Amino acid sequence: MLPILALDVDGVILNFHDHWIQLAQERLGRVLPCQNRSYHFGKRLGLTREEYNQCWDYFREKDGWSTVPEYPGVGETLDLLARRFRLIAVTGIPAEVLDHRKNNLAHLDLPILEVHATGHRDQTKEVILSRLSAVAFVDDRLHHLHEAALAGVPSLFWVDRGDEQERENTIGATRILSLEEILDRI
């Protein structure tokens, strides 16, 4: 059996950032330029709490969880990785939208064999990764890579999208700018 490569979804495979902002702009009827690199959309876009909530309501109304586009080149990269690894997604989304996420990935015809959700804040990625025995984990947030290190995942890859991070890279995660870069490093 092939070893497991675990991957985060948003910010690694799917371009959730641009998708969410596009729907938020539709809802609010105006262009929303990024004001900083905060991971939190409300802060990044300078939204009031009411606007932020309206945008999330609209995102759910438009079934935004099922229509997030992949980053360019990700499909080809995952196809190449699937020759050497079992690809398992570990994503920090609410449990109630897990089926939407699975449908999204299936619609894009990506070779992801399983999708595990943390339930947003119900459990950590450490718990899920501990059960998977993955040989590597890829995420865009250093916080989650620290969790993977605690779970004993030996190879860690940080997709640096330029966002502010809650943690420093004190765990030796390999910094990459896109998923494609992993092909030469794993």
Report whether 145 contacts 173 (CB < 8 A).
yes
Average pLDDT, the chain: 93
Q: Taking 70 as the threshold, does the pLDDT of residue 57 lie above it?
A: yes
Residues 101 and 164 in one domain: yes
Give how far the C-alpha of residue 138 lies from the chain's centroid of Cα atoms, to the nearest Å.
9
Structural domain including 157 reads 4-15+70-184
Residues 77 and 42 in one domain: no
pLDDT in tens, 15-52: 999 999 999 999 999 999 999 888 889 999 999 999 99
Q: Please, where are the H alpha helices in the chain?
A: 16-28, 41-45, 49-61, 74-81, 98-107, 125-132, 142-150
Query: Measured between alpha carbons, how far apart are the two ends of the chain, in Å?
Result: 17
Residue 122 is predicted with a pLDDT of: 67
pLDDT in tens, 97-132: 999 999 999 999 999 999 999 886 667 899 999 999
CB atoms within 10 A of CB 63: 12
Residues 33 and 46 in one domain: yes
Instruction: Give me the percent of the chain exceeding a pLDDT of 90.
Output: 82
Residues 89 and 33 in one domain: no
Lowest mean pLDDT among 21-25, 38-42, 80-84, 155-159: 38-42
Q: What are phi and psi of 81, to 5 degrees?
A: -65, -35
Give how far the C-alpha of residue 48 lies from the chain's centroid of Cα atoms, to the nearest Å.
25
Residues 61 and 76 in one domain: no
Total domains in the fold of the chain: 2
Give, in order, the Cα–Cα distances in Å from 123 to each of 63, 66, 88, 94, 128.
24, 22, 17, 10, 8
Residues 9 and 42 in one domain: no
Report whether 153 contacts 5 (CB < 8 A).
no
Per-residue pLDDT band for 72 (boundaries 50, 70, 90) equals very high
CA angle 75, 101, 31 (to 5 degrees): 85
Residues 34 and 91 in one domain: no
Residue 120 is predicted with a pLDDT of: 66
Residues 179 and 102 in one domain: yes
Residues 8 and 48 in one domain: no
